Amino acid sequence: MRTQVGIIGAGPAGLLLSHLLHLNGIESVVIEERSEDYVRQRVRAGVLENTTTDLLREVGLGERMDREGLVHGGVSFRFDGADHRIAFEELIGRNVTVYGQQEVVKDLIDARNRDGGRLLFEVSGTAVHDIDTDRPRITFTDSAGQPQELVCDVVAGCDGFHGVSRKSVPHEAYDHTYPFAWLGVLAKAAPTREEIAYTHHERGFALYSMRSPEITRLYLQVAPDEDIANWPDDRIWAELHTRMAVAGESPVLEGPVLDKGITAMRSFVATPMRHGRLFLAGDAAHIVPPTGAKGMNLAVADVRLLSMALTELLRRNDSRLIESYSDTALRRVWRAEAFSWTMTSMLHVMPGADAFQRQVQLAQLRYTVSSTAAMTSIAENYVGLPW
């Protein structure tokens, strides 16, 4: 097979890159190890920055998002037994939208199918070759068990943290593992509040979020080696009630648990994000803890930049944007890493922290929700900095 851009990975990064390239007249082929049904259904992050929603509308992908997404004009920090709201719209005039990553993926797959996009699911044995040349290749076995070779002008590695792409790029790794994890549940229970709430409690962090008017997404801080078997549904609900209790507010509404799992908390950056004609984007290049709601939004920022650079390279033979791609993308990545680290360290109970450290943490939280300047900084970073 032959194409201009071979894209490894059919997550939001790979699919959006393919869509943006199509709009610019650039051909691509997307290959993915998982099945289409799996990709459509896997539950991931759900908070879209204002810049992300603007881009999705601009490229014709905003109709269902605007109809079904939940617009949030702020978030709450909960501590000292009280709720403290940070009002994005009042502070900076912008907002975020809760719209699950799997919904974005569904919209992208449908758009690529309508436009005749080439999406190859259930491939195996993916490998990249000749990335130091102007004709890199991707080899794989297709869903019918037949060996295939895809010759490209450029390869985009959008295959996540555990994919093959980053292993093909000589890089320096910046890696930090946090001393706790998140136990997350997806529950069929109507939200009892309209916005996301981050809770700092002496027993540990908790997060109250939602995916729709009928589905809530909830998280608890647990030990990094915690066994999910130790957390039956009754214990999860009891702990959520304890950590999120605020006087005069309705308790968390319980419902059937649809999904349950434990997620490690990690920060990771690979630099550079390219080698020869292989370019990394999204989780293939960087990981952020989910506290700052930056993961998918960083992937969108990467591929927006990469699509413009590839268009200049492949249509006009202008390599200036592609040469600066890694440095430009990494400036935004490190800003998101810093914000995510700040949110994570401020809101979680740090194992082994002494009484002095706990009081300093509370002092920082109290200052953050009482200072207009501090709340504006939170709002600007959470809603999304300009491109």
- Which run of H or of E encompasses 241? helix 233-244
Q: Give the residue among 115, 1, 96 at the shortest CA–CA distance from 56.
A: 96
The arrangement of strands across the sheet holding 124-129 comes to 124-129, 137-141, 147-151
Q: What is the DSSP letter of 191?
A: -
98's CB contacts (< 8 A; 6+ apart) are 46, 47, 48, 69, 70, 71, 72, 196, 209, 210, 211
Catalytic residue selected from 171, 200, 294, 348: 294
Catalytic residue selected from 19, 84, 136, 198: 198
Tokens read off for 370: 């009482």
Does 290 qualify as catalytic in the annotation? Answer: yes
- DSSP secondary structure string, 284-346? GTEE--GGG--HHHHHHHHHHHHHHHHHHHHHH---HHHHHHHHHHHHHHHHHHHHHHHHHHH
Neighbours of 162 (CB within 10 A): 9
Q: Is 59 helix (H, G, I), strand (E, B) or coil?
A: coil
Does 382 qualify as catalytic in the annotation? Answer: yes
Q: Can you tell me the distance from the alpha carbon of 207 to that of 236, in angstroms, rounded to the nearest whole number?
A: 12
The arrangement of strands across the sheet holding 286-287 comes to 82-87, 74-79, 197-199, 206-210, 216-222, 172-187, 257-271, 286-287
Does 275 qualify as catalytic in the annotation? Answer: no
In sequence order, the β-bridge partners of residue 200 are none
Does 219 qualify as catalytic in the annotation? Answer: no
Contact 75, 86 (CB under 8 A): yes
Contact 60, 344 (CB under 8 A): no
- Which run of H or of E encompasses 6? strand 5-8
Catalytic residue selected from 200, 290, 325, 348: 290
Contact 365, 200 (CB under 8 A): yes
Neighbours of 235 (CB within 10 A): 12
Distances from the Cα of 202 to the Cα of 5, 338, 358, angstroms:
50, 24, 9
Q: Give the residue among 45, 56, 47, 53 at the shortest CA–CA distance from 19.
A: 56
Catalytic residue selected from 19, 22, 72, 84: 72
Residues with a catalytic annotation lie at 72, 198, 290, 294, 382
